[in-house]
Amino acid sequence: MSAFSAAALTPNGRGAVATIRLQGDWSALETSGVFRTSRGVSASTAPVGRVLLAHWGPPPGEDVVLCRSDKHVLDVHCHGGQAAVARILADAAAAGGEVRTAKELVKQSAGLFEAECLDVLSRACTLRTAEILLEQASGTLRDQVQRLIDGRDLSKLDEILHWSEFGRHLTAPWRVVLTGAPNVGKSSLINRLVGFERSIVNPTPGTTRDVVTAEAALDGWPICFEDTAGLRSGAAALEQEGIDRARARLEQADLVLIVVDVSQGLSDADRALCAQYPEALLVGNKCDLAPTDAATLRMARSVSCVTGVGLEDLTAAIVDRLVPEVPESGTAVPVSERQIRLLQAAFADNDIAPLFDLLGSNAEAKQTPDA
């Protein structure tokens, strides 16, 4: 068994600073000269919490900041590039350390539940979702479930399960799929919504053939917009493949935007789409042109991708549909599929046992015997 473990705590990708945690007996790294503190202070004997400047590896090496966060835990803060992280992890492995994922490392010391919460926190892509995930990782969810266990009362499980779908989307963006006939402005609209030129805009029907995705944050919520092929009959084989893919994505969407050209009015195909997806938002694009159908204007949310008119109201409507309610601070929100599955099992069977599995050994240790 390895004397120590090493794991990158920061998520994959480039950043200003990355953190690698060494856990266990990592003193061999220091005694072998892999890193040296700038003042000659031994990191192995430095007080917990003391910050040390150091140099990692032979020249040119890496300038790092070290801090012992526990007796046998050393956090190494280095440049956020992937090369620096890879080098430090490789040196740890060469010294006999076991390179692990952050989730595995936390699970080893704190348990699976805490590892799950920290894992999803590391994958938060907006400050708003990170704030909610941090609250769960800091004990909100654990404390609420523990109270249910201690009180042998499962009546409030449904209050936690109420936020299951919301919890899933804290790390998996809501999916909004744009559909409609060719040349109604779907590609222009998605470019406007995400704020950059993601989709190709061209008057030729069938320009969009594959599903084009782009992620953005609206009001702090992560949303993946999907631009799909224009729906029409009589398309050639390649375009038809794009149409088939578009229909498949529509079935998986959290919200469908049916885009129509208000200067042309609703076609029979548009009406058929509205009937097929009654929960969709109808978006009337090209409102800067003279409308030919006043009824369409009344039914649809009018926008112009040329002038920007109506886009602010449309984004607000999208958020209202996707996130109709937000949990108050202190609300327990399940954040992983395992947590949701075990909560559902406890609720369905009126059985407290799955809650012990959810929290792990700490919950069992707190269990009080039945009178």
Domain assignment present for 336:
no
Residues 46-87: tens digit of each pLDDT: 889 999 999 998 877 889 999 998 888 999 999 888 888 999
- CATH number (domain holding residue 314): 3.40.50.300
Name the residue among 321, 325, 324, 357 with its Cα closest to residue 340. Answer: 357
303 with 282: CB under 8 angstroms?
no
Convert the pLDDT of each residue in 287-303 to its tens digit.
Answer: 888 666 666 667 788 89
- Are 318 and 188 in a shared domain? yes
The answer to whether position 46 is within a domain reads yes
Is residue 297 located within the same domain as residue 209?
yes
Instruction: Measure the CA–CA gap between 344 and 355, rounded to whole angstroms.
Output: 10
pLDDT of 24 over the 60 cut: yes
Q: What percent of the chain has pLDDT over 90?
A: 41
User: Cα separation of 94 and 266, whole Å?
Assistant: 67
**CA-to-CA distance for 355 and 25, rounded, in angstroms?**
34
One domain for residues 298 and 253: yes
Residue 40's pLDDT band (cuts 50, 70, 90): confident
Q: Does residue 188 sit in the same domain as residue 312?
A: yes
Best CA proximity match to 102, nearest among 126, 123, 88: 123
- Residues 366, 149 contacting (CB under 8 angstroms): yes
- For residues 250 and 194, membership in a common domain is answered with yes
Residue 94 shares a structural domain with residue 141 = no
Nearest to 223 by CA among 268, 190, 270: 190
Based on the structure, what is the number of domains in the chain? 3
Residue 362 has pLDDT above 50, yes or no: no
Q: Which domain holds residue 95?
A: 4-104
**What is the average pLDDT score of the chain?**
83
Q: Are residue 185 and residue 149 in the same domain, yes or no?
A: no
The answer to whether residue 208 sits within a structural domain is yes
Same structural domain, 91 and 203: no
Question: What pLDDT is attached to residue 14?
Answer: 66
pLDDT confidence bin for 196, thresholds 50/70/90: low
Residues 305 and 210 in one domain: yes
User: Is residue 229 in some structural domain?
Assistant: yes
Q: Is residue 160 part of a domain?
A: no
CA atoms within 13 Å, Cβ hemisphere of 357? 13
In a domain, 332, yes or no: no
Pair 75, 206 in one domain: no
Query: pLDDT, tens digit, for every residue of 302-323?
Result: 899 899 999 999 999 999 999 9
Check: pTM over 0.85? Answer yes or no. no
Q: Does the structure show a pLDDT above 70 at 126?
A: yes
Same domain, yes or no: 121 and 227: no
**In the chain, which ranges are continuous DSSP H helix?**
27-31, 82-94, 102-109, 112-122, 127-137, 140-151, 157-161, 164-168, 186-194, 237-252, 268-276, 294-299, 311-322, 337-349, 353-359, 361-366
Does residue 329 fall inside a structural domain?
no
Q: Report the range out of 150-159, 255-264, 322-331 with the highest average pLDDT.
A: 322-331
- What mean pLDDT comes out for the span 270-296? 83
